[in-house]
Structures are given as C-alpha cells and as structure tokens.
Amino acid sequence: MSKVKYYYDPDTLSYRKIQRKKRTTFKYAFFFILGTAFFAFIFVFIGSQYVESPKERALKRELQNTQLQFELLNKKMEHAETVLANVAERDNNIYRVYFEANPIPEEQRRAGFGGINRYKSLEGFDNSKLIIESNKRLDILQKQIVVQSKSLDEITKLAEDKEKLLAAIPAIQPVNNKDLTRMASGYGMRTDPFTKVRKMHRGMDFSAPRGTPVYASGDGIVTRADSRSTGYGNHIRIDHGYGYVSLYAHLYKYNVRKNQKVKRGDLIGFVGSTGRSQGPHLHYEIFKDDERINPINFYYGSLTAEEFNKLLEHASLENQSLD
C-alpha cells in the first residue's frame, strides 16, 4: 500500500495531495526491473562459476566414466599386446627356426606410422592425450596382427612344403631288411670284386635272392627304367625333387615305367644280377644335387638307434663290394 504524501500550498494556504504522474510511475518500475535483472544476472553468473547445475554434474559424471572406460580399454590392449608379443616370440624363435625361415625383424613388427599426423582431428581437447595415445596403441596392435598373420601364412606354406619334402626324401631301405643281415657292403673305399683293386664304392649293396622286391625309398617320378648305363644293368632312377635322386641297379625285372609317379614303399622292381655284378644283389645310390652321397644317413626314419648303429657297423666294414 503506497503512502499518500501531501504538500503545503501557500496560495491556497492548505495541504494538497501530491499527485504522482503516471509516467514517473512507469519510470520507477522500469528501473526497478532493470536493476533486479542486472543483479540477478550477476548473481547467476558468479554463482555458476562455483556451483554446478544438475546437468553439469551429470555431464561431468559421464566424462569421468568415459575416462575410466578408456583406461580399462588400455589395460585390455596391454593384455593383448602381451599375448601378441608371446606369439611373435614363438614365431621367430620356434616356428621360423624350425622351418629355416629368417625371423621377422623387430622393427618390422613394431613399426609405427610415419609421415602425416593421423591424429590431428583428435587434438585440441582436454582428453586429447588419452584418446590419441589409445588410438596409436590400437593402430600399432592392428598392424602387428597383420604382420603376424602374414608370417603364419608363410609358416603354413613352409609346413606344407616340409611335409612334401619329408615324403620325398629317400628315407627307407630299398629292400626288406628287418634283421639287417642283407647289408653287404657300404659306401666308401672297397675292394672291386672283379679287379680286386681298392676303389671308391659310391653306393650300398644289399645281398638278396633273385626276385626279392625292391621298394621306392621316397615319393618321386621314375626318370629311368632301362639298361643303357654301363655297369648298372637293369636299373631305375627316381627323381624325388629338392635335388634328390635314388638309383636301384642290377635288377632282374622292373615293376614301373619311365615317367611313372611313385610313393615311398611302392614295389618298383626285383633284385637280380644284371650288369657288372658278382651275384644277386641290389646296388643302391642316392644323389643330392648330382653328387653321390652315403645312403646310410637316410634310414633314420625307419630304424631305432640300435638298429642304425648295427647297420652303420656293417656298412663301415671295408670288405669287398658286389658292385
């Protein structure tokens, strides 16, 4: 309720009511609202610097949660990195060694990304460091996985080849020799049965009755089955690939033809005494890259250590070869 104010009018010698003009009332009201608004603004502005709104509190909580999740993700990445490092180590030190492949250099495995800054769009925020570091880590991890995956592809290929190689290498005795009594003469200096002169005998002789089965000692292709080589008589050559060739001489009969594919253990012919031979026996040779090598080192696959030693002893006797 507004107070009624009076003033003394000397003309009429009386008190008269002060009439406030309408305009003045508006002016007062206007300034009052303006002032209130100004102080309200100042109050809210200053207050908001120190007091959080519920919305701000919610956002802040969300941000904290995001940060926490990023840190947890980094922990998980760390775990993945450890596992991958372990796989890489086994890859380099076991698989690649086993398959005679060069290890993948560490620089290649751990290589980052040079050149342009891939993370520019992530810069300029409070959390930039955390986000960029996490991204970098994941990118490197991804790249390492690709390198590792390629390496394992290569190993798989090598393993397949190794299997073929192992099947190809002449690794069994060419005649049944269970009690090892058939080994007649080994590789080395031996007395020639015809001239009685010591000379190099570049194969192994297995004495066996005529008609005894002869087996392919490894997978391969028959390149010869004829008697057009001096001294060998009827003989067979098998090309095993990887530089290996085996030769079976003085045969009585063939069981394969030229260009025929054979597997280890296939019956390829029969023991005889054709060519320069003293009596029924199989003369067996192994070539590696066109050089004759001692077949004794190729039976490991089918013999026990004791059997091998016995065979080695027999083969080392400097006796007379059957040629």
Residue ranges in contact with Zn ion by CB under 5 A: 203, 205, 283, 321, 323
Is the Cβ of residue 168 or residue 247 nearer to Zn ion in the bound state? Answer: 247
Residue 52's identity, in one-letter code, is E
Nearer to Zn ion, 154 or 192 (CB): 192
The identity of residue 62, as a single letter, is E
Shorter beta-carbon distance to Zn ion: residue 61 or 198: 198
CB of 201 to Zn ion, least distance (A): 6
Closest approach of Zn ion to the CB of residue 191, in Å: 12
Structure tokens at 169: 């290498």
**3 state SS of 177:** coil
Q: Cα(38)–Cα(36) distance, rounded to whole angstroms?
A: 5
Question: Residue 144 or residue 212: which is nearer to Zn ion going by CB?
Answer: 212
Q: CB 94 → Zn ion: shortest distance, Å?
A: 42
The residue (of 92 and 280) whose beta carbon lies closer to Zn ion is 280
Residue 162 or 292 with smaller CB distance to Zn ion: 292
- Give 292-296 contacts, CB < 8 A, sequence gap 24+: 292/202, 292/203, 294/186, 294/187, 294/188, 295/170, 295/187, 295/203, 295/204, 296/186, 296/187, 296/204
Q: In angstroms, give the least distance from the CB of 322 to Zn ion.
A: 6
State which residue, 184 or 268, has the beta carbon closest to Zn ion.
184
Minimum distance from CB of 185 to Zn ion (Å)?
Answer: 6
Token couple for 259: 């260009």
Question: Closer CB to Zn ion, residue 246 or residue 321?
Answer: 321
Number of Cβ atoms within 10 Å of the Cβ of 297: 12
Per DSSP, 320 falls in state B
- 155 or 286, CB closer to Zn ion? 286
Min dist CB 203 to Zn ion, Å, is 5
CB 269 within 8 A of CB 175: no
Q: C-beta of 230: minimal distance to Zn ion in Å? A: 14
Place of tokens 């986000």: 131
> What b/e string do you get for 177-206 counting C-beta neighbours within 10 Å, with b at 16 or more?
beeeebbbbbbeebbbbeeeeeeebbbbbb
> In the numeric block, which tokens belong to residue 208?
């066996």
Least distance in angstroms from the C-beta of 225 to Zn ion: 19
Q: In angstroms, what CA-CA distances link 246 with 196, 257, 268, 283?
A: 27, 15, 12, 11
Nearest residue to the partner Zn ion, using Cβ: 283
C-alpha to C-alpha distance for 175 and 182, rounded to whole angstroms: 8
Nearest approach in angstroms of CB 151 to Zn ion is 47
> From CA 235, how far away is CA 251, in angstroms rounded?
6
